[in-house]
């Protein structure tokens, strides 16, 4: 339930936050540019993971876990800097 609620809020925020920050001028272009890196990563992730799995075997899971921990660390750094 929490994942679904968070995903719903993210969908709403993805549409309204750029409008509130940048205004209505070139809204579609700006939201497209903001979303492009995430969409590209989502598109290439299965291919890259498959290639790594083929090359490294099951030890690629350690690479995946390390990347997840690095992303968590970056998120916590952002959270800490916004509080100050």
Distance CA 38, CA 35 (A): 6
Instruction: State the burial class of residue 36 (Cβ atoms within 10 Å of its Cβ: 0-12, 13-18, 19+).
Output: exposed
Model-wide pTM > 0.85: no
**pLDDT per position in the chain (84 positions), as tens?**
888 888 888 889 888 888 888 889 989 898 888 889 999 999 999 999 899 889 999 888 898 899 999 999 998 898 766 555
Distance CA 13, CA 19 (A): 10
What dihedral do alpha carbons 56, 60, 62, 66 form, nearest 10°?
A: 120
């Amino acid at each position: 339930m929490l994942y679904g609620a968070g995903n719903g809020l993210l969908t709403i925020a993805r549409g309204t936050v750029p409008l509130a920050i940048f205004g209505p001028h070139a809204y579609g272009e700006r939201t497209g540019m903001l979303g492009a890196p995430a969409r590209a990563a989502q598109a290439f992730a299965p291919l890259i993971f498959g290639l790594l799995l083929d090359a490294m075997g099951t030890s690629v899971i350690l690479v995946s876990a390390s990347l997840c921990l690095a992303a968590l660390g970056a998120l916590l750094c952002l959270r800490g800097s916004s509080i100050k």
